[in-house]
Amino acid sequence: MPHTETPIALVVGADGLIGNALLAKLAAAGSPVVGTTRRNPAGCRVVRLDLSEPPASWRLPPSVSTAFLCAGLTKTDDCRKNPVSSSRINVDAVGSLAGRLADHGAFVVFLSSSQVFSGAVARCAQDAPPDPISEYGRQKAATERRVLSLGKRGAAVRLTKVAETLLPLFSRWEAALRHGQEIRPFSDMTAAPVPLSLVVEALTRLADRRLAGITQVSADRDLSYADMARLVAVHAGADPALIHPILAKESGLDLEAIANRTALDTTRLRRELGLIPPDAAACIAATLASGSAAKS
């Protein structure tokens, strides 16, 4: 990695959706920033770092002032099927990296998930004990503990569903509806969608203020996938009678866990970062509009 004495921000996992947007925002603001990828890096701001390799092989830049840990295995099914190998990356490697960066003076921001909770309780507070029901959620909770043990040098940001990640599903639904085909969204699976722009803004404000501990980023409420399908139908000008909701257990899919509630308490987001959680339905509508604009 290039040597520099200028304090920099480090975005670990800069080729992911959030990491890429965060790197772009920091660079546009003129902040010294370096991103990492496990692939062959492209561009002067991105270097290679593979968390599946031994920590002794990691080459980290000096003078990291803030590190955003956006990397890891994020597919819940991969974590369920390969709990040992996925935990080596999501818990052992990310936790070791967090400690190493903090030991060298960095403020460490870890991207966590609403899946640290089971969904049994609505709008869990940041200090509620985690009770994950999925392997992915258990791994996130374990890494949270390691990052929070860094004290004033550690922060965990729990995110609900980033709305842009739903666009491929929405596109499939829209195509089917436009062709007069039925769709069968789950009525018992929910999400509290937040726009990518809000996530990135929350991360940058939190880092600027060195806000240690847990911060939760969530929409104001949950929507079922059936609810979201109806919004897709409105956007497409399609017949909502083509939507036939089903229960997840009727789908035939091998689902590890279904959280009926994912929305989180966002008091700290409002009070300490000055950010307002979005209206869930408005967030989906805006995401659909932006997706259509990107296609045109």
Cβ neighbors of 262 (< 8 A, separation 6 or more) are 114, 115, 117, 119, 160, 161, 190, 191, 192, 218, 222
Q: What is the predicted pLDDT for the residue at 288?
A: 97
Query: Is 272 within a domain?
Result: yes
Residue 24 in domain: yes
CA distance 292 to 103: 46
Q: Residue 165: inside a domain, yes or no?
A: no
Q: How confident is the model at residue 296 (pLDDT cuts 50, 70, 90)?
A: low
User: Residue 97 sits in a domain of what CATH number?
Assistant: 3.40.50.720
Mean pLDDT of all residues belonging to the chain:
94
The answer to the question of residue 186 being in a domain is: no
Residue 113 resides in a domain: yes
What is the distance between the alpha carbons of residues 274 and 252, in angstroms, rounded to a whole number? 43
Q: What's the number of domains the chain is made of?
A: 1
CA dist., res. 189 & res. 258, Å (int) = 6
* 8 Å CB contact between 159 and 191: no
288 in a structural domain = no
270 within domain boundaries: yes
pLDDT at position 250, please? 82
Q: How confident is the model over 8-49, as pLDDT tens digits?
A: 999 999 999 999 999 999 999 999 999 999 987 776 789 999
Do residues 226 and 247 make contact, with C-beta atoms less than 8 angstroms apart?
no
Q: Could you tell me if residue 230 is inside a domain?
A: no
User: pTM to 2 decimals?
Assistant: 0.94
pLDDT at 293: 60
pLDDT digits (tens, 9 = 90+) for 56-92: 999 998 899 999 999 999 899 999 999 999 999 999 9
Q: With beta carbons less than 8 A apart as the criterion, state whether 157 and 206 touch.
A: yes
186-215 tens-digit pLDDT = 999 999 999 999 999 999 999 999 999 999
In terms of residue numbers, what domain contains 53? 8-160+195-218+266-278
User: Which pLDDT tens digit goes with each residue over 113-162?
Assistant: 999 999 999 999 999 999 999 999 999 999 999 999 999 999 999 999 99
